[in-house]
Structure 1
Amino acid sequence: MKKLALILIIVGAINWGLIGLFQFDLVATLFGGGSQEGAFARVIYTLVGIAGLVSIAFLFDSNER
């Protein structure tokens, strides 16, 4: 679960970096036909958001490696 959340967070971070630097939304381009309104793109955005919320618990995890 942690690895999946981390992968989704990385995808989100890369996407936000591309939006910030180049105004290019990679997720929308790949999964929504270039629009943030695409159904599958919205699923990806939702999963990234959930992964971010789940990852808040990692801040308080006492099993640090």
Structure 2
Amino acid sequence: MKCPYCNKEMEKGYIQSKHGLGWNRKKRVLAVSSGWFADQPLEYESVAYRCGDCKKIIIDYNQQEE
């Protein structure tokens, strides 16, 4: 995928979370569990493309891979 800001090739990766992904119009306070373990599986993910030059990430929140 080409970056819409600089037109360079973007790196494919994933945005992942244990408790879901969400978008809000306003900032909200989020509770974080203190029982987090790095080896637990992350249940939610979306394909994302990152531009290292522009420091932008493009997320297709309809595209999930198993």
- Larger helix fraction of residues: 1
- Larger strand fraction of residues: 2
- TM-score bin (small chain): under 0.3
Larger radius of gyration: 2
Q: What TM-score do the two structures reach when normalised by structure 2?
A: 0.23
